[in-house]
Amino acid sequence: MTGHDAALRRVTAEGLLLAGGGRATLLQIAHPLVARGVYEHSDFAARPLARLRSTLLYSYAVLFGSAAEAEKMSRSVRALHSRVRGPGYAADDPALLVWVNATLYDTAMLLYQRAFGPLSEADADECHRRYSVVATSIGCPPDAWPPDRAAFARYYDDMLGSLRVSAEAREIAGALLSTSTLPMALRPVQPLVRFVTVGLLPEPVRAGFGFSWTARQQRRLDRALAVTAAVYPRLPARLRHLPKDWSLAELRRHS
């Protein structure tokens, strides 16, 4: 990353974005080839905290770490993806890498702007353009990322219209949103995680997973997001950025 990434760093430093982790994951596995790869090669639904830790270490290394730290984590992820393949799919398929990155980008933009308000046109363009680094660092060709926000919007809408949630994806989602895979101390918060995750999904994907959602639930979610927008930006930056700082410290302890 360079000094030209101020807007992207400002957005991705916010711990609030972790609230969208479930949304991004379910969008990813709504693609049947991603779901098949996860179903056949990953146990992250049974070990969600381990998956979260790995994702944080990779993301923050690429976005905030040194060039050496970013390259080390990127090599590790590329090596892992090279082993995830089967009939009809490969985890290092550029089309799948773009979709996975698109879910992370769209979720980050959604949550940041609900809390802080719309980005300026220049900052929004920068965030879109520079988010490609997350995909290219794990092997996606640079020209595979949509070249501008208008192209991304067309791509994203086309993808949402083409996704077909598989039985494998529904099984993964059920395990991921279950309380049984969490430590006892965290189980009381899982209903809230499930509520936010389901509520933030685009309606066609939510329906594909078989989740119900009412107007009353939508009003509750909108109120919760309004409260978040009133309170969260006023918290000290050191608290808001705690996941980033913890992840970088963890990365450097084991380097």
Condensed to tens digits (0 to 9), the pLDDT of residues 77-111 reads 888 878 888 878 888 899 999 999 999 999 999 99
What is the pairing mode between strands 85-86 and 89-90?
antiparallel
Q: What value does the mean pLDDT of the chain take? A: 90
Domain borders along the chain are: 3-253
When comparing pLDDT for 146 and 187, which is higher?
146
198 with 64: CB under 8 angstroms? no
Residue 181 DSSP label = T
Report the b/e string of 123-139 with b at 16+ CB within 10 A. ebebbbbbbbbbbbbbb
The whole-angstrom separation of Cα 90 and Cα 219 is 40
Q: Is 86 helix (H, G, I), strand (E, B) or coil?
A: strand
When comparing pLDDT for 5 and 215, which is higher?
215
* H or E element that contains 134: helix 132-136
Is this model's pTM higher than 0.75 or not? yes
Residue 89: predicted pLDDT = 84
Report the b/e string of 149-183 with b at 16+ CB within 10 A. eeebeeebeebeeebebbebbbebbeebbeeebee
Query: Residue 190's pLDDT band (boundaries 50, 70, 90)?
Result: confident
The whole-angstrom separation of Cα 127 and Cα 234 is 23
Cα angle 107, 113, 116 (rounded to 5 degrees) comes to: 135
The whole-angstrom separation of Cα 241 and Cα 110 is 18
Residue 243: predicted pLDDT = 94
Condensed to tens digits (0 to 9), the pLDDT of residues 20-64 reads 999 999 999 999 999 999 888 877 666 666 777 788 888 899 999
Paired with 85 in beta bridges are 90
Q: Which two tokens stand for residue 52?
A: 């979260």
